[in-house]
């Protein structure tokens, strides 16, 4: 399966600290995407990184991709209470048009 798997499943950190979440997958990919989901809401797209890219930034978010290790990481710097949410990685394989979501990391920012 090309499904991305996030690690850790849950993470609690103090406000102001950095949060790092990881995603691993099994097959070759076209791109990998990160989404955020606030409790009881839909998913919001954060960043898309293509297989030929190694790093992308968006505000306080930094995503890296290591295709040799089949892994990606999402770093949130200077975390805020509003960052409390679940974060999902989703992989799009080279062989089909499907986007497959992982089960997510639940991030809790402590005041």
Partner 1 sequence: DVKVTQSSRYLVKRTGEKVFLECVQDMDHENMFWYRQDPGLGLRLIYFSYDVKMKEKGDIPEGYSVSREKKERFSLILESASTNQTSMYLCASSPEALPRSPLHFGNGTRLTVT
Task: Return the number of the residue (14 or 39) whose C-beta is nearest partner 1.
Answer: 39
List Cα–Cα distances, 110 to 7, 10, 21, 105, in angstroms: 19, 13, 17, 16
* C-alpha torsion 107→72→100→45, nearest 10: 60
Determine, following the binding rule CB under 8 A, whether residue 85 of this chain makes contact with partner 1.
Answer: no
Task: Return the number of the residue (44 or 81) whose C-beta is nearest partner 1.
Answer: 44
* Bridge partners, residue 91, by sequence: 32, 100
| Interaction mask 2-31, partner 1, x per CB under 8 A | -x--------------------------xx
Residues that bind partner 1 (CB under 8 A): 3, 30-31, 33, 35, 40-45, 48, 88, 92-93, 97-99, 101-104
């Amino acid at each position: 399966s090309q499904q991305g798997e996030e690690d850790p499943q849950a993470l609690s950190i103090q406000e102001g600290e950095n949060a790092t979440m990881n995603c691993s997958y099994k097959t070759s990919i076209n791109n990998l995407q990160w989404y955020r989901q606030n409790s009881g809401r839909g998913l919001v797209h954060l960043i898309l990184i293509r297989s030929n890219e190694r790093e992308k930034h968006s505000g306080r978010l930094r995503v890296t991709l290591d295709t040799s290790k089949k892994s990606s990481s999402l770093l949130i710097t200077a975390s805020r209470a509003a960052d409390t949410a679940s974060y999902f990685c989703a992989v799009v394989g080279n062989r089909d048009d499907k986007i497959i979501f992982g089960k997510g990391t639940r991030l809790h920012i402590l005041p």
